[in-house]
Amino acid sequence: MSRKKVLFVCVANTCRSAMAEYILKDMAGDRFDASSAGLNAFVGDTMEPYAIRILDRRLAGNLHRLHRARQLSGYLMEEADIVVAMREDYARVIRESYPEFADKVVSLGEINMPLFSGDDAMEQCYDAIKAGITELLLSEKD
């Protein structure tokens, strides 16, 4: 059985979507092939330090430290089975930009940008992402 390819998308691909990628890899890497991209990424940027700190505390391993931002593209959209936007307005932008792949796009909810809000806000963001992924995994039947 092949693993479903899940592409997480936020704006810069240095915090929320990147965290979601590594959370899913940690939770269900045997069932899903997770990746991430940004709507307006600075390609090659590293993950935000706040995000690295929370993933260091919560996940086994440190592959997230190697993360580099990627720009959303038609190729990435085509390759994905499911495209998960961090907010509904991002999902709308993705559907409008890639109408041929609109049926692949879902929203994880309203996962807001926690930067510059401190570690507590980042912890809440992590928990919201993990809860959203858990709901997605439970609703996705093989």
CB atoms within 10 A of CB 139: 8
Spatial distance between the Cα atoms of 140 and 82, rounded to a whole number of angstroms: 10
Q: Say if CB 17 and CB 9 are below 8 A apart.
A: yes
Give 107's pLDDT tier (boundaries 50, 70, 90): very high
Per-residue pLDDT at 35 exceeds 70: yes
Contacting residues for 70 by C-beta, under 8 A, at least 6 apart:
13, 35, 36, 37, 38, 41, 43, 76
Instruction: Enumerate the active-site residues.
Output: 10, 16, 120
Closest to 104 in 3D by CA, of 2, 5, 14 = 5
Task: Give the tens place of pLDDT for each residue, 41-85.
Answer: 999 999 999 899 999 999 988 889 999 999 999 999 999 999 999
d(CA 14, CA 68): 8
For 88-103, b where at least 16 C-beta lie within 10 A, e where not — what string? eebbebbbeebeebee
Q: What pLDDT was estimated at residue 61?
A: 83
